[in-house]
């Protein structure tokens, strides 16, 4: 806990790279945000498809499943339609979905057979019929440990995710892998001061492809989880600053952030707030405050 407090204090003199605009909005109550735990909302670039995962929602193929809702904007019925499990769920754990900016792929995590380690990173093509066949991202990205929360940067050049593999700064750390051909180069720890002895995980790039929002806790299993933002200075990131109460609830956990591709000035995240017993999905508008610094690098 001392390490986290020190990091917050050390970065307090700097301007935060992100500020929120207004209050967070609950996403699709009764459809996506229910009495079950719903986490990591990703929205397609055209704004018509929403994906997220649930640890305990009945009706899926496994213990963790990815769910989908389609938006109707014309006709007698408008708004988000009934949620259904996606076709590429396996009997085990499928979670942390993330559309690519062009909407052609969904990146996600799974422990399905045939992987490199425990929870591996996959991607699946988005087709006219729905979804293709999931492909493991291979050993340049995946390890014998756990990989979580993949997200391809808006410029398509960097894959951001977390891993508990050996060689990091602590527990789960943030990693990036540069796009190379149809795959990725070997993953490396995120440069700079963001990774610590604590758990850093569930990260997303924001619209500039450089600023990140991520989750941090001394232990993601045992301690409160909050969302932080970190700015890039060249290839290195600062320690990060905790986000305001519009995102972080005073009591409950907040994690699972993701850039909303249909409105790139909007951030989605998951939070247990107002005494709720489960995680719900939220959206909030944000504004970058370090644009000049980032644009000059």
pLDDT band of residue 14 (cuts 50, 70, 90) is: low
Place of tokens 């998951």: 270
Cα separation, 154 vs 7, whole angstroms:
28
Place of tokens 């232990």: 219
- Structure tokens that stand for 266 in this block: 């909007």
CATH 1.10.357.10 fits 2-295, yes or no: no
Q: Which of 132, 52, 32 is nearest to 97 (CA)?
A: 52
Cα separation, 204 vs 161, whole angstroms:
8
Of 15 and 287, the structure prediction assigns the larger pLDDT to 287
Q: The pTM is what?
A: 0.91
Q: Please give the pLDDT value at position 269.
A: 98
pLDDT per residue as tens digits for the range 262-291: 999 999 999 998 766 789 999 999 999 865
279: Cβ contacts below 8 Å, ≥ 6 apart: 37, 38, 39, 253, 256, 270, 271, 272
Q: Look at 13-27, 159-173, 193-207, 217-231 and tell me which has the smallest mean pLDDT.
A: 13-27
pLDDT per residue as tens digits for the range 205-260: 999 999 999 999 998 888 999 999 999 988 899 999 999 999 999 889 999 999 99
Of 16 and 34, the structure prediction assigns the larger pLDDT to 34
* Mean pLDDT, residues 83-99 taken together: 97
Of 297 and 160, the structure prediction assigns the larger pLDDT to 160
Domain boundaries, the chain: 2-295
- The H or E element spanning position 267 is strand 266-271
Of 72 and 111, the structure prediction assigns the larger pLDDT to 111
263: Cβ contacts below 8 Å, ≥ 6 apart: 47, 285
Q: Please give the pLDDT value at position 75.
A: 67
Q: What is the CA radius of gyration of the chain?
A: 18
% of the chain with per-residue pLDDT over 70: 91
- Structure tokens that stand for 295 in this block: 């644009």
Contact between 142 and 115 under an 8 Å Cβ cutoff? The reply is yes
Q: Please give the pLDDT value at position 3.
A: 35
pLDDT per residue as tens digits for the range 139-151: 999 999 999 999 9
């Amino acid at each position: 806990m001392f390490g986290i407090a020190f990091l917050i204090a050390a970065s307090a003199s700097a301007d935060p790279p992100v500020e929120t605009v207004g209050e967070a909005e609950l996403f699709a109550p009764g459809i996506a945000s229910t009495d079950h735990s719903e986490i990591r909302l990703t929205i397609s670039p055209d704004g018509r498809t929403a994906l997220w995962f649930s640890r305990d929602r009945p009706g899926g193929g496994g213990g963790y499943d990815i769910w989908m809702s389609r938006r109707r904007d014309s006709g007698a019925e408008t708004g988000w339609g009934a949620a259904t499990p996606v076709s590429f769920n396996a009997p085990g754990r499928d979670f942390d979905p993330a559309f690519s900016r062009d909407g052609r792929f969904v990146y996600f995590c799974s422990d399905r057979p045939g992987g490199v380690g425990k929870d591996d990173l996959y991607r699946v093509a988005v087709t006219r019929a729905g979804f293709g066949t999931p492909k493991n991202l291979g050993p340049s990205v995946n390890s014998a440990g756990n990989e979580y929360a993949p997200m391809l940067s808006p410029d398509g050049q960097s894959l951001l995710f977390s891993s508990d593999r050996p060689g990091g700064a602590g527990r789960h750390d943030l990693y990036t892998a540069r796009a190379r051909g149809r795959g990725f180069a070997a993953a490396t720890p995120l440069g700079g001061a963001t990774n610590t002895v604590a758990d850093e995980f569930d990260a997303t790039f924001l619209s500039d492809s450089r600023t990140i929002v991520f989750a941090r806790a001394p232990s993601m299993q045992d301690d409160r989880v909050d969302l932080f933002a970190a700015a890039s200075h060249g290839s290195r990131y600062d320690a990060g600053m905790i986000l305001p109460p519009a995102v972080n609830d005073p009591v409950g956990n907040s994690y699972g952030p993701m850039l909303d591709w249909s409105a790139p000035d909007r951030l989605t995240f998951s939070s247990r707030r107002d005494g709720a017993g489960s995680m719900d999905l939220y959206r909030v508008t944000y504004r970058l405050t370090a644009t000049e610094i980032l644009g000059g690098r």
